[in-house]
Amino acid sequence: MADARPFQWEYRPAPVAREQYRIEGGRPLGGRVAISGSKNAALKLLAAATLTGERCRFENVPEIEDVRVMAETLRELGVVVDHPAPNVYEVAAGDIDWLFVPLEAAARMRASFILLGPLLARRGQVIISNPGGDRIGRRPVNFHVDAMRALGAEIDYRYGYYYAKAPGRLRGAEIRFPTVTVMGTENALLAATLAVGHTTIEPAAREPEVDDLIAFLRKMGAEVERTAPDRIEVEGRRRLRGAEHRVLPDRIEAGTFVVAAAVTGGQVRLEGAPCDHLGAFLEVAGRVGVGIACGSDWIEVDGRALAADGYRATDIETAPYPGLATDLQPPTCVLLTQAVGTSRVHETVFEDRLEWLAELARMGADVTVHDAHHATIRGRTRLRGATTEIGDLRAGASLILAALAAEGESVVRGAHHVERGYENIEEKFRALGARIERQPEIPPGERP
Ligand code: EPU
């Protein structure tokens, strides 16, 4: 591939201006909060826009770091990405100059790997960095690579990069994943829209964000259909056209605010909240004793039972949709610290996603982590303010939740992890009456 840039043999991440949240807890939250567009839908929609040379327009795109990284990665490829108004992005991929997604992009955001499918299908070749692991486990990409091979791509792996080529066009195929994979399904789906012939993807992820992507692809002229709950079929087309789309609301952000209201004993109304997409999670919240009322696009949370009898312990198990989302496991664990009795937590999707519980324990939570997938939480604990360190996005949001519930002041370090995926989180919490501010990080040992 002549147009690939030279490798960088050594990757040194750009220094991040480290910030921390300072939170004074123990105040019930109250009022209304508007739920933003979904991170995990928006990233794939922006990538899908590279399937056509025509302009695509997206509304309700969350203003978060991961979206900025995706926009920057696309611009580096020669794609025009405009941001004409807050929450609006326009993408025109008429010219794609580089077919190289560098380590810098992959290191900043694992979701950059979603560009494999569309670039391969549209341009027939791509060199893309292995996104490797992160703080919630190894997170390999073998399912994505195998799916592309099934579609006829030739892929070599050298020096941390996948070299992918499609001699001629990709060819439709029967893709069978060993287990359900969200981005694997999406990568296969994106590639299949421009392949020759028919593709079947099974088991296909059932997450609402996958269906939002399907809805957008259909507007682009793609022939895609979910023909069974876990099967997606695609009839490849030669060309797709530009389209407009409004990103669906973020169910994980919504779940995070449900827990915020519950653990502070507050009353909050979530506006534009996807009640239908939160079935398993709201069922757990209700079982624990949180008051939940749902409308077509709102959720009302009543956490007053906390001050009365407290919540009730319950066992939880994460699973692919429609099960309890692994991304809501950390917030749910914070909720379980406020429940009387013993709750068992079974994380089935990722390994190492329970590690963050050690930070929660610094705030007084009674937590035992048995192995990579199992933990026990005993409650109810009066959490107390402490200094904690964020390791990943969802754990970070959950440490904020714990700090909001805790007595006294907390410092939650590593705010950049949270900014990756939550739009204006501290402004939203402040509008609900929380005392939270972001400030430059003060090195441990130094007095503020
Ligand atoms: N897996 C493999 N090989 C692969 C792909 C996945 O072994 O090639 C394994 C994973 O290690 C995991 C399981 O399969 O054990 C399922 O992973 P999946 O592929 O479904 O995860 P993902 O697509 O990489 C997306 C979200 C995650 C969310 C998971 C599960 C995006 C950008 N990310 O990841 O979101 O936790 O689905 O719902 O859509 C987050 O937003 O904080 C986040 C981590």
Q: What is the pLDDT of residues 293-323, one digit of tens each?
A: 999 999 999 999 999 888 999 999 999 999 9
Mutation pick for ligand 1 pocket among 38, 141, 349 (CB with most ligand atoms within 8 Å): 349
Catalogue all structural domains in the chain, each as residue range(s) with its CATH number.
19-36+249-446 (3.65.10.10), 39-246 (3.65.10.10)
What pLDDT shows up at residue 3?
41
The answer, yes or no, to whether any atom of ligand 1 lies below 6 A from the CB of 394, is yes
Q: What is the pLDDT of residues 289-299, one digit of tens each?
A: 999 999 999 99
State the average pLDDT over residues 390-396.
94
Q: Is the CB of 329 under 6 A from ligand 1?
A: no
Span from the CA of 153 to the centroid of ligand 1 (angstroms): 22
Question: Which of 425, 129, 367, 423 lies closest to 247 in space, CA to CA?
Answer: 423
Cis peptide before 203 (omega within 30 of 0): yes
Mean pLDDT of the chain: 93
Question: How far are the Cα atoms of 46, 78, 265, 396, 408 from residue 56, in angstroms, in the given order?
Answer: 9, 15, 43, 33, 48
At residue 88, φ and ψ (nearest 5 deg) are -120, 130
**Predicted local distance difference test score (pLDDT) of residue 6:** 42
pLDDT for res 352: 87
For the Cβ of 116 lying below 6 angstroms from any atom of ligand 1, the answer is: no
Q: Is the predicted pLDDT of residue 7 greater than 70, yes or no?
A: no
Q: How many other CB atoms sit within 10 Å of the CB of residue 397?
A: 27
- Least confident range from 41-50, 128-137, 247-256: namely 128-137
At residue 424, φ and ψ (nearest 5 deg) are: 45, 45
Beta bridge partners of 32: 269
| Mode of pairing for the β-strands spanning 55-59 and 291-294 | unpaired
Confidence band for 2, pLDDT divided at 50, 70 and 90: very low
For ligand 1, the distance from its centroid to the CA atom of residue 111, given in whole angstroms, is 9
